[in-house]
Amino acid sequence: MKLALNLSWLIALVALAVAPAITMAADTPQQRPNVIFLFADDHRADAIGALGHPVVKTPHLDTLVRSGFTFTNAYCLGANVGAVCTPSRNMLLSGRAYFRWQGPQAPADGPSFPAAMKAAGYETYHEGKRGNTAIALQKQFEHNQYIDENADRTGGEPGKIIVDHAIDFLKQRTDARPLFMYLAFGNPHDPRVAAQKYLDLYERDKLPLPKNFLSMHPFDNGEPLVRDERLASWPRTPEEIRKHLHEYYAVISALDGHIGRLLAYCREQGLAENTIFIYSADHGLAVGSHGLMGKQSLYEHSMKSPLIFSGPGIPHGKSDALAYLMDIFPTTCKLAGTEPPAGLDGKSLRGIIQSDSPNPRKTLFLAYRDVQRAIRDERYKLIRYPQVNVTQLFDLQADPDELQNLASTPGQQERVAQMTSALRQWQKELGDKAPLTVDKPKSPAFDPPLPGIKDPPVKAVN
């Protein structure tokens, strides 16, 4: 009896000693989910099959949509240079608007996504394109490497190089810490070269044109002859736009296929059970919409990106909350169980994903160089072109393709005035000193080069 009593006391003491250790272990970084962030280049928000696109084939991204949570109003804030990729990726990794620094590159002495995740106990890995990206911030990843962008884009298998390297890294990895992997693809940016098997997925002549296809943009938007716009001659023709769309969709399908290989490997190895997958892109692309080819505009097709979170603890759902790409940084921190650093312009979307907090924004601000400014609320968007004294107002609920300018419509003057006032308030908060009106505006008339002329030759630099 005495022996049994002593044994009971011993078991109780051991249990008391072990209990705190078990509790602490549950809170250690090792228990946090892995994060694999897949970040594309020039992928329009609507160019995913499961999000309603009538043609594009993306079966593997579709699985993330069907299992995860999608934000349908995720935006790149804009750009202070023509290479929109650069400020977009710097805002993404710094969590701050580009007005917070001089030039397109964020300084390395501020908060950063890789530094925050490393401080939270994560092993950090980056591989991606080198051109027009966030070089200083990417140096803060423990593993940081770059691909030959031209080889990746012209080899016929877009995304293969990065996915091959990512799988090899996962196979050889022995670190016990959770992993934060940032794969910054250079696709579907041009030059767009896909193997014939991807091109064969689509019939070029039957591809529908964008609903807002125009042969030319109706006025000078401040950047009518930028490099991207010279990828097609003026006036834009249905045949030429279908050629671009054919290559664009084929490259997206190729990239989707290689992302599928990575997802399959993670499932086979049991990694997917404790991994959050994020898919997004640095901005969208016009490809014929509004008579434009690039992303140097504040229309929906150019500034919106797909944004999908899928993994443990993330319910299936969708939200039309107004979001920025720079929100991905604090959102991921929250999902990983760590606090984001102070001083970010980005806001956590975790509460929206888990339905326990409201949308953190009522309006959203967009900017492109000193030639375009915009603000949108839950329904309307106002775009101002100060250099040519043009204002556009769109009802995005009734006119999601932004075809009917309501700015001069009777009854809309008060709305234009209110949204312009809110736009100025955004400028004040971000330190944006660009005027919304200039003393001597230029003529809005756009006089493009003659049909067939594409000089000077273009080079893929962004």
Kindly state whether residue 18 falls inside one of the protein's structural domains.
Answer: no
**Exposure pattern of 404-415 as b/e (b: 16+ CB <10 Å)?**
ebbbeeeebeeb
CA 81 to chain centre: 17
- In degrees, rounded to 5, the angle at the alpha carbon of residue 321 between the alpha carbons of residues 90 and 120 is 50
Kindly state whether residue 424 falls inside one of the protein's structural domains.
Answer: no
Query: 453: pLDDT confidence band, cut at 50, 70 and 90?
Result: very low
Kindly state whether residue 165 falls inside one of the protein's structural domains.
Answer: yes
| Residue 53: per-residue pLDDT | 97
Distance (Å, whole) CA 210 – CA 226: 21
Kindly state whether residue 248 falls inside one of the protein's structural domains.
Answer: yes
Q: In the predicted model, is pLDDT for residue 3 greater than 50? A: no
Residue of 418, 129, 175, 157 lying closest to 281 (CA atoms): 129
Kindly state whether residue 3 falls inside one of the protein's structural domains.
Answer: no
Is residue 329 within 8 A of residue 113, CB to CB? The reply is yes
Quote the pTM value. 0.91
Kindly state whether residue 376 falls inside one of the protein's structural domains.
Answer: no
| Residue 358: per-residue pLDDT | 77
Q: In the predicted model, is pLDDT for residue 371 greater than 90? A: yes
Strand ranges across the sheet with 275-281: 143-146, 123-128, 179-184, 34-40, 275-281, 307-310, 69-71, 317-319
Distance (Å, whole) CA 57 – CA 135: 33
Radius of gyration of the chain (CA): 24
Kindly state whether residue 4 falls inside one of the protein's structural domains.
Answer: no
| Residue 10: per-residue pLDDT | 38
Residue 123's domain comprises 32-362
Q: In the predicted model, is pLDDT for residue 395 greater than 70? A: yes
The CATH number covering residue 149 comes to: 3.40.720.10
Residue of 171, 150, 172 lying closest to 161 (CA atoms): 150
Query: How do beta strands 78-79 and 317-319 pair?
Result: unpaired
User: What mean pLDDT comes out for the span 317-338?
Assistant: 97
Q: In the predicted model, is pLDDT for residue 252 greater than 60? A: yes
Q: In the predicted model, is pLDDT for residue 28 greater than 70? A: no
Q: What pLDDT, in 10s, does the model give residues 76-89?
A: 999 999 999 999 99
| Residue 363: per-residue pLDDT | 98
User: What mean pLDDT comes out for the span 255-273?
Assistant: 98
Q: What pLDDT, in 10s, does the model give residues 208-251?
A: 999 999 999 999 999 999 999 999 999 999 999 999 999 999 99
Helix ranges (H only) for 28-148 are 59-67, 85-94, 113-119, 135-138
> To the nearest whole number, what is the mean pLDDT of the chain?
92
Kindly state whether residue 407 falls inside one of the protein's structural domains.
Answer: no
Q: What pLDDT, in 10s, does the model give residues 150-175?
A: 999 999 999 999 999 999 999 999 99
Of all residues in the chain, the percent with pLDDT exceeding 70 is 91
Residue of 124, 122, 152, 123 lying closest to 137 (CA atoms): 124
- Among 2-16, 65-79, 87-101, which is the least confidently predicted range? 2-16
Provide the token pair at 422.
Answer: 């809110």
The one-letter amino acid code at 456 reads P
Distance (Å, whole) CA 113 – CA 345: 13
User: What mean pLDDT comes out for the span 82-109?
Assistant: 95
- Among 240-249, 380-389, 451-460, which is the least confidently predicted range? 451-460
- Phi and psi angles of residue 75, each rounded to the nearest 5 degrees, phi first: -125, 145
DSSP code of 327? G
> Cis ω on the peptide bond leading into residue 386 (within 30° of 0)?
no
| Residue 30: per-residue pLDDT | 53
Distance (Å, whole) CA 87 – CA 143: 22
Q: In the predicted model, is pLDDT for residue 7 greater than 50? A: no
Q: In the predicted model, is pLDDT for residue 147 greater than 90? A: yes
Query: 451: pLDDT confidence band, cut at 50, 70 and 90?
Result: low
Residue with tokens 């594009």: 56
The one-letter amino acid code at 263 reads L
Helix ranges (H only) for 36-159 are 59-67, 85-94, 113-119, 135-138, 149-154
Q: In the predicted model, is pLDDT for residue 455 greater than 90? A: no
- In degrees, rounded to 5, the angle at the alpha carbon of residue 342 between the alpha carbons of residues 338 and 348 is 55
212 contact partners, CB below 8 Å, separation of at least 6: 289, 290, 301, 401, 402, 403
Q: In the predicted model, is pLDDT for residue 462 greater than 60? A: no
Q: How many domains does the chain have?
A: 1
